[in-house]
A and B are shown apart, each in its own frame.
Chain A
Amino acid sequence: GQQVMQIPQYQHVQEGEDFTTYCNSSTTLSNIQWYKQRPGGHPVFLIQLVKSGEVKKQKRLTFQFGEAKKNSSLHITATQTTDVGTYFCAGRRSNYQLIWGAGTKLIIKP
């Protein structure tokens, strides 16, 4: 069946370093959403990308949607302790079903 693969599973960074997570779908997506889940919390919507090649920025976060609408990335510049959590992508199929990636856990090294 259709899957959304997300890598890496974990990323350990020093505070101030950059962080990137990638999502890849086996088929074309209508759009892709990104969510953040803090430890012990619930997923919170960050952004939605719809257009081929779209790039959106939110302060230190940059989101990209691939030209073929099969892959996406989230890049955080100069991570801060408040960025800790698990970042999920969720790709929407043409029938509106949302397929979630397994998430990338961002860990800040002390």
Chain B
Amino acid sequence: EAGVAQSPRYKIIEKRQSVAFWCNPISGHATLYWYQQILGQGPKLLIQFQNNGVVDDSQLPKDRFSAERLKGVDSTLKIQPAKLEDSAVYLCASSLDPGPSYEQYFGPGTRLTVT
């Protein structure tokens, strides 16, 4: 079974530039999550999709971050414009269901450096 795919793996941009990340979840997984993990901290949920609908985006900085999951499969996360504090690893995860019994499978992450 293929895992969660993410690209790119690394990205370096200057502040005020834009960047986009892509995620393809495990086949058949209805729920997709985007997390931000700052060095030395735990993952912080940015947005959770079930199929192509948003379940939770309460911690997404909507003035600069946006995400979509067209057709309920793969997803993109965009930052525009980027700030220095956005430097982090952006993790995508998927699970069969958002219900309480389902573990999350994580992709390798995209390491973003904003200079």
Enumerate chain A interface residues (CB-CB to B < 8 A). 6, 30-31, 33, 41-45, 48, 50, 88, 92, 96-98, 100-103
Contacts and interface: CB of A to CB of B under 8 A. Distances in A.
Contacts of B44: 100
A88 B106 CA distance: 14
Interface string B71-115: 000000000000000000001010000111101111111000000
A103 B41 CA distance: 7
Nearest to A6: B42
B45 interface: yes
B99 A96 contact: yes
Interface in B2-43: 41-43
30 contacts: A30-B100, A41-B108, A42-B106, A42-B108, A42-B109, A43-B93, A43-B104, A44-B106, A45-B103, A45-B104, A45-B105, A48-B101, A48-B103, A50-B100, A50-B101, A88-B42, A92-B100, A96-B55, A96-B99, A97-B45, A97-B48, A97-B56, A98-B45, A98-B104, A100-B42, A100-B43, A101-B42, A102-B42, A103-B41, A103-B42
Secondary structure of the B contact surface, majority rule: loop
A42 to B, nearest CB: 4
A42 B101 contact: no
A88 B42 CA distance: 7
Contacts of A50: 100-101
B40 to A, nearest CB: 8
A101 B44 CA distance: 10
A88 to B, nearest CB: 5
Among the interface residues A42, A44, A96, A97, which one has the most CB atoms of the partner chain B within 10 A? A42
A43 B91 contact: yes
7 closest A-B pairs by beta carbon, nearest first, are: A45-B103, A42-B106, A100-B42, A102-B42, A30-B100, A103-B42, A96-B98
Given A45-B105, A97-B48, 19 more contacts: A30-B100, A31-B100, A31-B101, A42-B91, A42-B106, A42-B109, A43-B91, A43-B93, A44-B106, A48-B101, A50-B100, A92-B100, A96-B100, A97-B45, A97-B56, A100-B43, A101-B42, A102-B41, A103-B41
